[in-house]
């Protein structure tokens, strides 16, 4: 059953991303407001990759906190595995979101990094969860590692809400930010962009789900191997 579920997710994911990219290249027109503001309407199409990566990374950190809470309540190591897998893959998506954002920055403003408020808050997200990974890796006791990771995931999720959705949208911050979120928020992208963005988001979300499932399974197998080795040593 799991094999067929995984197969169905992979097929659906592949079709969604393939269709989204095909439409982006051959159907979606250059964005008028992006052409007026940045001199190139085609660079708006980076939203089909950048936005899904950023949103899914945020969802990953929120769900990681949820599974962290579940672990603290139930003390079930399965919830710790899933929480850790969510953070790892969420961190990867955040890195890719930052990289695609930097690429847009280069195309739009002529420089890879300008410390725009959006870039800065995303950088803080990466610092937050890089620290999580380093802290977790430094703890040997498994139960203590899971407990500290759960608490960190919860605190990290609270910080993420501010980094993703509060600080960038403060009026004083938006006034100095050159990020095109204002164009998107006021409907500056037409129906074709909205449709393809939804398809792309679903595709990247399914890819994320698969990566988390695989990583969580690997973590479970690694833990079982360690437990088996310890039992053999006791004998």
Residues 99-128: tens digit of each pLDDT: 999 999 999 888 999 899 999 999 999 999
Cα distance between residue 42 and residue 29, in whole Å:
7
The CA-CA-CA angle for residues 31, 52, 155, to 5°, reads 135
In this structure, the number of other CB atoms found within 10 A of the CB of residue 119 comes to 19
Query: What's the confidence (pLDDT) of residue 104?
Result: 93
What are the sequence ranges of the domains in the chain? 2-234
Confidence of residue 36 (pLDDT cuts 50, 70, 90): confident
pLDDT tens for each residue of 129-181: 999 999 999 999 999 999 999 999 999 999 999 999 999 989 899 888 888 87
CA dihedral (102, 104, 106, 110) positive or negative: negative
Supply 214's token pair: 């695989």
pLDDT at 206: 97
Average pLDDT over residues 4-21: 92
pTM of the entire predicted model: 0.94
DSSP annotation of 170 = S
The reported pLDDT for the residue numbered 235 is 61
CA distance 235 to 121: 52
């Amino acid at each position: 059953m799991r094999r067929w579920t995984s197969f169905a997710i992979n097929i659906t994911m592949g079709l969604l991303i393939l269709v989204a990219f095909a439409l982006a290249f051959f159907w979606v027109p250059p964005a008028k407001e992006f052409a007026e503001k940045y001199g190139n309407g085609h660079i708006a199409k980076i939203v089909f990759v950048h936005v899904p990566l950023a949103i899914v990374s945020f969802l990953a950190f929120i769900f990681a906190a949820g599974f962290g809470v579940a672990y603290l309540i139930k003390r079930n190591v399965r919830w710790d595995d899933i929480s850790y897998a969510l953070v790892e893959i969420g961190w990867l998506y955040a890195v890719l979101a930052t990289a695609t954002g930097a690429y847009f920055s280069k195309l739009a403003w002529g420089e890879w990094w300008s410390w725009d408020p959006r870039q800065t808050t995303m950088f803080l997200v990466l610092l937050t969860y890089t620290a999580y990974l380093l802290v977790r890796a430094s703890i040997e006791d498994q139960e203590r590692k899971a407990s500290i990771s759960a608490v960190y995931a919860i605190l990290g999720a609270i910080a993420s809400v501010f980094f993703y959705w509060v600080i960038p949208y403060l009026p004083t911050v938006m006034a100095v930010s050159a990020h095109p979120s204002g164009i998107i928020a006021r409907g500056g992208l037409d129906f074709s962009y909205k449709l393809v963005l939804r398809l792309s988001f679903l595709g990247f979300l399914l890819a994320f789900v698969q990566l988390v499932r695989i990583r969580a399974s690997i973590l479970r197998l690694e833990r079982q191997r360690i437990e088996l080795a310890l039992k053999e040593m006791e004998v």
